[in-house]
Amino acid sequence: QVQLQESGPGLVKPSETLSLTCSVSGYSISSGYYWGWIRQPPGKALEWIGYIYHSGSTYYSPSLKSRVTISIDTSKNQFSLKLSSVTAADTAVYYCARAEGEVDYWGQGMLVTVSS
Amino acid sequence: EIVLTQSPATLSVSPGERATLSCRASQSVSSNLAWYQQKPGQAPRLLIYGASTRATGIPARFSGSGSGTEFTLTISSLQSEDFAVYYCQQSNNWPPEWTFGQGTKVEIK
């Protein structure tokens, strides 16, 4: 069974870089699919951050493109998110996901709070 | 950017009744439209993909229809476990951006 698990700091200071890693089990990320990040501010809607193909090609949301980097490490079966220059508006639950257009597997989600 | 507009924002329905949720795209997304259910404190669950194909394990009371810019999710007879927030999501090939709608909350009437 495919499982995804987010990890990283739950608290980040304003202006710093948010870094999260998604560990995948039950499926080799080098075999296919898109691997992405989605976030959800408290009480608000889901927002696509971006995704990476197993080959390494990426797509980022236009509104976040200047601050986002998604990378993949097939040797560890992991992929990662970096979001720079964070503000309180970046406080959200961050989900990692497997997708082929639609998302069929989600991580449990991780709350990241931006605060000094 | 393709904008998805969901309506209504909140839908009050009695158990056993039919619920009809709408999702409108700002430009054609063909059939590249999915629906998700999200309950408080949980990750979303995929219900429908390709506009009308039920995901594995999804009950037959959930159905999706539409193509192009107009889509509908229908829950034929609401069960207690169906009260949740529902999101649509498009994954059009070009531009290669994926976006979600703002959600419809289905609440008990």
Q: Model confidence over B55-94: pLDDT tens digits? A: 999 999 999 999 999 999 999 999 999 999 999 999 987 6
Whether residue B89 and residue A108 make contact (CB cut-off 8 A), yes or no, is: no
Q: Which chain B residues are Cβ-neighbours of A36 within 8 angstroms? A: 98
Q: Which residues of chain A have pLDDT under 70?
A: none
pLDDT surpasses 90 at B42: yes
**Residue of A36, A75, A28 whose CA lies nearest to A53:** A36
Q: State both tokens at A17.
A: 């870089």
Whether residue B96 and residue A107 make contact (CB cut-off 8 A), yes or no, is: no
Can you name the residues that pair with B22 across neighbouring β-strands? B7, B72
What residues have CB less than 8 Å from A40, skipping those under 6 apart?
A46, A47, A92, A93, A95, A109
**Residue of B29, B36, B18 whose CA lies nearest to B104:** B36
Whether residue B98 and residue A47 make contact (CB cut-off 8 A), yes or no, is: no
Q: Which chain A residues are Cβ-neighbours of B102 within 8 angstroms? A: 45
Which of A45, A59, A108 faces B103 most closely, judged by CB atoms?
Answer: A45
Q: State both tokens at A82.
A: 């970096």
Determine the pLDDT at residue A54: 83
The residue whose two tokens read 């931006």 is A114
